[in-house]
Chains A and B, each alone.
Chain A
């Protein structure tokens, strides 16, 4: 069995934060490209050179404002974004065979600062008298809610789960994003005067349209798909989302059992590494052919270096 300390170490931040000095050093390495490819690569088009320049000049509040005005989920994106294929992957330093600027860690440095200092960077707009309903308190719904509130509309968010945040709260691997950070980020948005109704499952959009001027639907993707084979309902068979949600909402306890994981790309890493982090005696990712002889072959094999589950 693992000790509590070993468990805590296994679930610790996969990318620890920068110190103030390390952040200054990193910020001053940026070339501040005029046609910044990092900004173009980001789906929310954060002005990356601008926020890094502000870190370099010691203006963390201004830096966070640049980040969060473009992306209300700048805190969680700094921790959970696949930056190697987005901003950092686009950094021109890659082409000079150098390490790209650590954009995610710099973004975390600035956004952590405002979260820790509880700085309020945004305010609700002048009331317009319009009412908007948001269905789903995940990143899409709350990003929409924040900007609508800043524009002065009255916003009501409906969430089926007991806590807001969607997969940020319930589904992101804990060594990337902890639930308390996700909830603090959400609280910052709700504090703008958004009415949040948790534990409420919306069953009819048409009913909402009778009460509200517009409705935003951001309900996410619900349950994991079913395999449709015998034995799926047996105890001990669990879907990845339920497994992660359970881990994130219950105190951790060590397990000494084998874990098998049927993979697709989105949940593969965390689903295979979590049983190992919890000291399952093994975690394995059986190939399709191992599970069902009748399943068609995809003519593709999981790369050998990715088969090791404890990465």
Chain B
């Protein structure tokens, strides 16, 4: 058996439009990092989305 572990590629078939209503985070946005980086980016994105939807960020 030969296992290829030469890095991962992004899901290219999904087009992400440049739209203020679209936010990104995690491996697809940081090129691949740890769980904790993905969680941190998800939390930050939630704050940005909440603010974008008119909510108050503490």
Contact = CB atoms under 8 A, between A and B. Distances in A.
A binds B: yes
Interface of A: 42-45, 70-73, 76-77, 80-82, 86, 128, 130, 132, 135-136, 138-148, 151-153, 166-168, 172, 202-206, 209, 213-227, 232, 236-241, 243, 255, 257-264, 266-268, 271, 275, 280
Interface of B: 1-17, 19, 21-29, 31-32, 34-43, 45-47, 49-50, 52-55
B34 A219 contact: no
Contact of A132 (B14, B29, B49): B49
A127 to B, nearest CB: 12
B26 A151 contact: no
A238 B49 contact: no
Among A42, A216, A260, the one with the most B-chain Cβ atoms within 10 Å of its Cβ is: A216
A219 B7 CA distance: 16
Nearest to B45: A144
Main secondary structure of the interface of B (DSSP, over half): mixed
Among B4, B14, B16, B24, the one with the most A-chain Cβ atoms within 10 Å of its Cβ is: B4
Contact of A144 (B2, B25, B28): B25
A44 B23 contact: no
Given A138-B38, A143-B39, A217-B23, A148 B3 contact: no
A51 to B, nearest CB: 15
A86 B36 contact: yes
A194 B55 CA distance: 19
A264 B5 contact: yes
Across the A-B interface, the 9 shortest Cβ-Cβ residue pairs: A140-B26, A143-B42, A147-B46, A240-B5, A221-B8, A144-B42, A43-B40, A139-B38, A140-B38
Nearest to B35: A139
Contacts of A135: 14
Among A143, A238, A266, the one with the most B-chain Cβ atoms within 10 Å of its Cβ is: A143
B1 A143 contact: no
A224 B42 contact: no
Contacts of B9: 221-225
A297 to B, nearest CB: 17
B45 A222 contact: no
A44 B40 contact: yes
Contact of B14 (A71, A205, A238): A205
Given A214-B23, A263-B5, 7 more contacts: A73-B38, A132-B53, A143-B42, A143-B46, A153-B49, A218-B25, A239-B3
27 contacts: A44-B39, A44-B40, A44-B43, A72-B42, A77-B39, A138-B26, A139-B42, A142-B42, A143-B38, A145-B42, A147-B42, A152-B55, A153-B50, A205-B16, A209-B19, A216-B25, A218-B25, A218-B28, A218-B38, A220-B28, A222-B11, A225-B6, A257-B1, A261-B5, A267-B5, A268-B5, A275-B1
A238 B5 contact: no
B49 A205 contact: no
A214 B53 contact: yes
